[in-house]
Amino acid sequence: MKVGILIENLFNMQEFLYPYYRFVEAGLEPVVIGPEVATYTAEHIGYQHASDVAARDVDATELAGLIVPGGYAPDRLRRHAEILDIVRSVDGAGKPLGIICHGSWVGISARVVKGRRLTAVASTQDDLVNAGADYVADERVVVEGNLVTAQSFPDVPAFTKAFLDVLGRS
């Protein structure tokens, strides 16, 4: 089973690497999807990771789920129509969609948050509410159907467990 993980410059390393390696441990195949096939740099410490595939070459029907890590990469990711198409396709098929921290910006731009109960980093609360989401401030991880959301990097273990539960691979 292939699970996509989005990447762009200024990604949050913890929110990217923890799910990546948990997927490997669970016998899944993580597929790193960037706007282009390139090497991307994390925020703060300069860690780098390459994408496996450019978004335009992804067949979202082949993905069992998708993770949108945070950091400031989501502000860049949401500018790419192909990225937003992948998010909408995965969500529309009812497959697990995991969004953490500032990844909520991608969910807003993909128009998949309206009317849904979710959480994210507090600085995106106004954006989410204005997009029609039911923002929850007092829960670190929220699961609503196929949508799994979390506030920030300290929540990554619980977020990844919840995502794997929704995927049926816990």
Number of domains in the chain: 1
Assess whether pLDDT exceeds 80 at residue 170.
Answer: no
Which CATH number goes with the domain that contains 8? 3.40.50.880
Strand partners, 96: none
- pLDDT value for 82: 98
Q: pLDDT (tens digit, 9 = 90+) per residue, 59-75?
A: 999 999 999 999 999 99
What residue numbers bound the domain in which 72 lies? 2-167
Q: Active site residue: 44, 49, 80, 102, which one?
A: 102
Structure tokens at 81: 């129509």
pTM over 0.95: yes
Q: Is 44 a catalytic residue?
A: no
Q: Which helix (H) or strand (E) holds 15?
A: helix 13-25
